[in-house]
Amino acid sequence: MTVTVDAEPRTSTPVPQGRGRWRLTLHRRVFMPLNYWIGNPAPTWQNTIVSELSSAHDRKLTQKWDGTAELAFSLDGRSDDAANILELAHDVYAWRWSTELGRDVCVFRGPIQQADDTVTPERHAVTFTCHDYLSMLERRILTSTLSWTNVDQDTIVSNLLTWAAWLVQSSSGAANFNTAGFLPIQSRAVDPSGNPRGASGQIRQRTYYGNATYLEQLDLLSKVAGGFDYDVQPEPEAGRQGFTAGFDAFRVFYPYQGSDRTAQLSFVYGSNVASVQRSFSSVDFANYVRELGNNGSADPNVAQLYAEAWTSEATSTTPTVGLWMLGNNLADINLQTTLNEHAQGDIGLTSLPAPTYTVGLTPDTYRWGNPAMGDNVPLIVRSGRLNINTTVRVLGITYTVGNDGQETVDLTVGRPQPNLRSAFHRITRDINALTRR
């Protein structure tokens, strides 16, 4: 998740006295009946606030490119702040003071989805974990088949969000979940810098089957040739950008998210970079990809529906790294053109043997939105075997706020790191797709 900064930043304004750079506020969740929200704004944060969580400590916000954001914080379980909190029924907003804008910027909004209490005679500690409204699309499943033929991918995104956030019902139609299922999120088509744009012009055919999650299908749609990047911008900032009041903006960046900052920024180890962690893995690297689709037949003698793509390295008679193959099962896909798009998209993502860097910035180096998610920035590291002078893309931002209010900012740049959770989701996706055949 990233937020577009104001068009005309002010001069530097320090954090107001008597408070820290970061604030957390507690809000009741909004559930709007269908006959109300059509054509009407949702309640904004000023109308839903319950209290400020002034005693929160051990605060940490993690944001990822094309992924969900997570906020964790701790409280004294016997405090008034903790007593006010209702898991699942409350949202938490995270605000960061911007010295450039002279105001708080809402960096995160999401429901409280996890609480861990530890009680001893000496203390009662509780840690809360929140995820943004993008993560709620992981808990929304299709209850019927949805299909589009020859429509812009922006339209498919908008329609999927409408079904996920507003038009929710049981498969039989006997139960209507429109009010309880309401999610304050709408799609918005934007250019790489976050400004409104016209249609992408990328025409797609898609069929989605019951039990698929909406987030899974949106992510698969984004990862094809000619696809898009996406994030969720929380409602206070979306409202400042002219979006529908009270709603988070699911921003569809085409053709990608982020700007070229090579002429404005440089991250140099020993200067504005305090620490560097470099990781390289072959797990997500491939120079040949084969995608297996659904041929619509239970007969094993019927030819498989597949698509493949490769790079010149894979067929070279003088290879440098050799052949690395990747096979994906996409049992929900029964169109050859769609399968071809996925193969081209996957080879574009996996064919560069790029390492991942976690860059720890020195105090006060980071400025709001500079860099932002997706930006290309120079990275210079000279230490032992590492002699790096390259341009990398920002793919993650982690804010860790100490108990004295000090802020540590870490950037993930380069290739997104493979992790157990993403591997588990890939396996689960494959199994679920097979059961929907």
Helix-helix angle 214-222:153-165, to 10 degrees: 170
Nearest CA to 6 out of 106, 100, 93, 97 is that of 100
Give me the mean pLDDT over the 11-39 stretch.
84
pLDDT digit string (tens) for 306-349?
A: 999 999 999 999 999 999 999 988 877 888 988 999 899 889 88
Tokens of 249: 């903006």
> Confidence band (pLDDT; 50, 70, 90) for 424?
very low
More confident residue, 288 or 175: 288
Buried b (16+ CB within 10 A) or exposed e, 110-147: bbbeebeeeeeeeeebbebbbbbbbbbbeebbbbeebe
Q: Measured at the alpha carbon of residue 328, what is the angle toward residues 324 and 329, in degrees to the nearest 5?
A: 155
Instruction: Give dist(CA 347, CA 349) in Å, integer.
Output: 5
User: Over the stretch 74-117, which tens digit does the pLDDT of each residue have?
Assistant: 999 999 999 999 999 999 999 999 998 999 999 999 999 999 99
* CA nearest to 106, candidates 249, 261, 230, 265: 249
Among 62, 78, 80, 82, residue whose Cα is nearest residue 70: 62
Three-point CA angle 149, 153, 156, nearest 5°: 70
Nearest to 270 by CA among 399, 146, 167, 359: 359
Q: Kindly report the CA angle at 244 between 238 and 247, in degrees rounded to 5?
A: 65
Q: What is the pLDDT of residue 4?
A: 38
User: Would you state the pLDDT for residue 65?
Assistant: 94
pTM of the model: 0.87
For residues 4-27, give the mean pLDDT. 76
pLDDT of residue 432: 53
More confident residue, 302 or 188: 188
**What torsion do the CA atoms of 289, 293, 295, 296 make, to the nearest 10 degrees?**
170
pLDDT tens, 130-174? 999 999 999 999 999 999 999 999 999 999 999 998 888 888 888
CB atoms within 10 A of CB 280: 11
Position 354 scores a pLDDT of: 81
Higher pLDDT, 282 or 432: 282
β-strand pairing of 386-401 with 57-64: antiparallel
**The predicted structure's pLDDT at residue 178:** 84
pLDDT-above-90 percentage for the chain:
67
Is residue 26 within 8 A of residue 84, CB to CB? The reply is yes
Residues 6+ apart with CB under 8 A from 273: 267, 359, 360, 361, 362, 365, 381
The full DSSP string for 78-122 is: TSHHHHT--TTTEEEEEEEEETTTTEEEEEEEEEEEEEEEEE-SS
325, 254, 61, 79: CA torsion to nearest 10: -130
Residue, of 408 and 32, whose pLDDT is higher? 408
> Mean pLDDT across the stretch 259-272?
92
pLDDT for res 123: 95
pLDDT score recorded for residue 5: 38
* Residue range 366-398, pLDDT digits in tens: 988 889 999 999 999 999 999 999 999 999 999
**Shortest CA distance to 105 belongs to which of 220, 5, 250, 244?**
5
Q: Which pLDDT band holds residue 422 (cuts at 50, 70, 90)?
A: very low
Over its C-alpha atoms, the chain yields an Rg (Å, rounded) of 23
Query: Which one-letter DSSP state was computed for residue 405?
Result: S
For the cut 60, the answer to whether the pLDDT of residue 437 exceeds it is no
- How confident is residue 11, by pLDDT bands cut at 50, 70 and 90? low
Contact 379, 400 (CB under 8 A): no
- Please check whether residue 106 is in contact with residue 368, taking contact to mean a CB–CB distance below 8 angstroms: no
Which residues are CB-contacts of 141 (< 8 A; sequence separation ≥ 6)? 210, 211, 212, 213, 214
Is the pLDDT at 59 greater than 90? The verdict is: yes
Q: How far apart are the first and last CA of the chain?
A: 34
Tell me if 35 sits within 8 A of 227, measured CB to CB: no
